Structure 1
Amino acid sequence: MKKAEFLNQFHHLRLPHSEPDFPLKKAGRPAAVLIPLIDYGTSLHVLLTERAHHLRHHPGQISFPGGAVEDADNSFFDAAMREADEEIGLPPHHVEIVGMLPRYRTVSGYEIAPVVGFVEPGFELKLDANEVESAFEVPLAHVLNRKNHLIHRTHLGSRSFPIYFIPWQKRMIWGATAAIIRNLSHHIHP
């Protein structure tokens, strides 16, 4: 998939299907992630991170750069860009923001705003070792293809919830990151 094709599908007027998220009893803590799409001209790749292994919450889990919205952030876009710069050294001038997906609520009490942006290749990653173990790219076509998505159902009390998994080489993208990718897939390939 190329940038022009992605934009044509992303900026449509139809309302795509969204995967169910966790029904919080009160408003979730605002958070934002950047879905960084690296534009190589002939193909797009998504840049993902592996969370540091020493972290108390979600160590080693695959995620997008992002985190909680802070008071100094003027918008979800600002929060996503600040977090991407802090976590992986992605300079804001290398990102062209194209929009945002519907928010996704998590079992940990966050309401995540997924911000989508194109990234110019050629910047040098500067990983914050306190937060990020590694960063890697996956072809966007692979993660958007729902044939590559696995679904496991779990129960909380009497309610059943899906947990999504997307295998890539020796890694497993799962949880909120996989659900957000799945929502992007529904948006691009309804």
Structure 2
Amino acid sequence: MTRFDLEPLRTALAGPEAAAAVASRRAAGGRPAAVLIALAQYPQATSVVLVEKDARLRTHAGQVAFPGGGIEPADVSAVAGALREADEEVGLAPSEIDVLGVLPPAHVRASDFDVTAVVGAWQAPRPLVPVDVGEIAAVHSVPLDVLLDPANRVTWRHESGFEGPGFVVGELFVWGFTAYLLDGLFDLAGWTRPWRRERLAEIPERFLRGRRR
């Protein structure tokens, strides 16, 4: 496993190249939202915090995502919104996160959100469990080495014709906006390893039932 140096990523997030990470989903005047990409710095590895949505939700049921949600009036910034949501959903306190930077807002067509991804380093990680048990079923800490392994990378294709990068890690199927952000972040950081983009994977049926199109 690898413990990644996150300082080059901090520099990249502050530069003009950060826009390329979300260039195909430019903000479109949607409702403002924010997610936290928390990079946990374990002694021998760097992992990312992912949540698994409750299977009973009306939308995005069972899907893998980052902690996050809509920005509220009391939030002074997208960063504040992302940190608040992570605290409310999984108990990750704002004081535990060193914010490295943000990606420009990216549009999510299914929910009409313009989402700002806040990237943070978590220097003293600890086990997390769902706090908002009505929305979050589980919390996962997935090593970046595992996500970057070409054997775990796929291209998903939706019946509507849309497709995009995905990750398959055991029983976790990461696709859609979450996988899009991971793919862009890895490219921005220079971590991406060559993988077979022609390797297609079907989206599990459990993610398609009741999904807003």
TM category (shorter chain) comes to: 0.7 to 0.9
**Which whole-Å CA distance do the structure 2 matches of 1:154 and 1:122 have between them?**
36
CA shift digits 1:82-137 (9 cap, x unpaired): 10011111111111111112322112211111101112213653431111000111
Q: 2:92 — aligned with what? A: 90
Q: Are the counterparts in 1 of residues 130 and 139 from structure 2 also a CA contact under 8 Å?
A: no
**Which whole-Å CA distance do the structure 2 matches of 1:188 and 1:147 have between them?**
20
Q: Are the counterparts in 2 of residues 18 and 183 from structure 1 also a CA contact under 8 Å?
A: yes
**Which whole-Å CA distance do the structure 2 matches of 1:136 and 1:85 have between them?**
15
**Counterpart of 2:119 in structure 1: which amino acid?**
V
CA shift digits 1:68-87 (9 cap, x unpaired): 11111100000001100111
Equivalence map 1:15-164=2 (5 Å): 15=17, 17-18=20-21, 21-22=24-25, 26-108=28-110, 109-119=112-122, 120-122=124-126, 124-145=128-149, 148-154=152-158, 161-164=162-165
SS of residue paired to 1:179: helix
SS of residue paired to 2:114: strand
Q: 2:171 — aligned with what? A: 170
CA shift digits 1:121-166 (9 cap, x unpaired): 136534311110001111112224566332234576xxx6433321
**Which whole-Å CA distance do the structure 2 matches of 1:64 and 1:27 have between them?**
22
Q: Are the counterparts in 2 of residues 21 and 106 from structure 1 also a CA contact under 8 Å?
A: no
**Which whole-Å CA distance do the structure 2 matches of 1:182 and 1:51 have between them?**
20
Structure 2, unpaired ranges of 5+? 193-213
**Which whole-Å CA distance do the structure 2 matches of 1:28 and 1:149 have between them?**
30
RMSD of Structure 2 on Structure 1 (CA): 2.4
Q: Are the counterparts in 1 of residues 3 and 43 from structure 2 also a CA contact under 8 Å?
A: yes
**Counterpart of 1:103 in structure 2: which amino acid?**
P
Distance 1:137 1:71, change over 3 A: same
Q: Are the counterparts in 2 of residues 163 and 174 from structure 1 also a CA contact under 8 Å?
A: yes
**Which whole-Å CA distance do the structure 1 matches of 2:109 and 2:9 have between them?**
30
Q: Which moved more, 1:8-17 or 1:28-37?
A: 8-17
What is the TM-score normalised by the length of structure 1? 0.86
**Counterpart of 2:143 in structure 1: which amino acid?**
P
Query: Sequence identity of aligned pairs in percent?
Result: 31
SS of residue paired to 2:181: helix
SS of residue paired to 2:55: coil
SS of residue paired to 2:44: coil
SS of residue paired to 1:150: strand
Structure 1, unpaired ranges of 5+? none
What is the TM-score normalised by the length of structure 2? 0.77
**Which whole-Å CA distance do the structure 1 matches of 2:144 and 2:22 have between them?**
19
Pairwise CA distance, 1:170: 1.2
